[in-house]
């Protein structure tokens, strides 16, 4: 189930990146690159920081095939994908929870402090989108209107709280991912956002 959610999240991130690039009127190569960095940019940065090389997608070409499939689907069905935006949002939200957990686990594998693990989880889930927005000449969405990254941080804190009370590992994973997905859905439904900071 975890691997299936990982695949769905990767696909959703790839399609999201491809659609963003097409809105910027990029050529097919540009669309593919944006789809690729959106899907694996956060995980790549995480792996480089913890010295895990070659990075994950280089060791498992299934990620490349999934991203390529997402790119092709976005190119072929770009006009029809608007009707699937709710489904894509759901997969994107699932990806947020799954990728946060993956980042947390990668930090624990190399015995890093919980604070650093939470940072790695947030990076894994969010920084593909940050790189996408920068390459598309936009201020990253997570820095200006959505509480995307904040949700990952809350999820990471909750993850370590559950581990501290020694709950079964599967229950910790399930509860953490459900919390992240729930907060993300509530944030979108009720338009939650952090206040902006303006210079007087």
Mean pLDDT of 69-79: 86
DSSP code at position 5:
H
Nearby residues of 72 by Cβ (< 8 Å), 6 or more positions away:
none
Q: How far apart are the first and last CA of the chain?
A: 50
Q: What residue segments make up the domains of the chain, in order of their start?
A: 2-189
- List the single range of 24-38, 126-140, 152-166 with lowest mean pLDDT: 126-140
Q: What pLDDT does residue 84 have?
A: 61
Q: What's the pLDDT at 85? A: 65
Report pTM.
0.87
Asked, as a colleague might, if the bond just before 54 is cis with ω within 30 of 0, I would say yes
């Amino acid at each position: 189930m975890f691997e299936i959610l990982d695949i769905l999240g990767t696909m959703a991130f790839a399609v999201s990146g491809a659609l963003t690039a097409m809105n910027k009127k990029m050529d097919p190569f540009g669309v593919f690159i944006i789809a690729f960095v959106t899907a694996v940019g956060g995980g790549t940065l995480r792996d480089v920081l913890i010295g895990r090389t070659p990075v994950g997608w280089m060791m498992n070409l299934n990620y490349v095939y999934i991203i390529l499939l997402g790119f092709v689907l976005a190119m072929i069905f770009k006009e029809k994908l608007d009707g699937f935006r709710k489904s894509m949002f759901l997969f994107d939200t699932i990806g947020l929870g799954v990728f946060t957990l993956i980042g947390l686990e990668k930090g624990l594998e190399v015995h890093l402090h919980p604070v650093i693990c939470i940072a790695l989880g947030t990076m894994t889930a969010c920084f593909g989108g940050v790189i996408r927005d920068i390459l598309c000449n936009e201020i990253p969405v997570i820095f200006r209107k959505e509480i995307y990254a904040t949700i990952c941080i809350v999820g990471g804190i909750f993850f370590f709280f559950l581990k501290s009370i020694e709950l079964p590992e599967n229950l910790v994973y399930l509860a953490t991912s459900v919390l992240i997905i729930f907060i993300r859905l509530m944030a979108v439904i009720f338009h939650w956002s952090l206040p902006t900071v303006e210079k007087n």
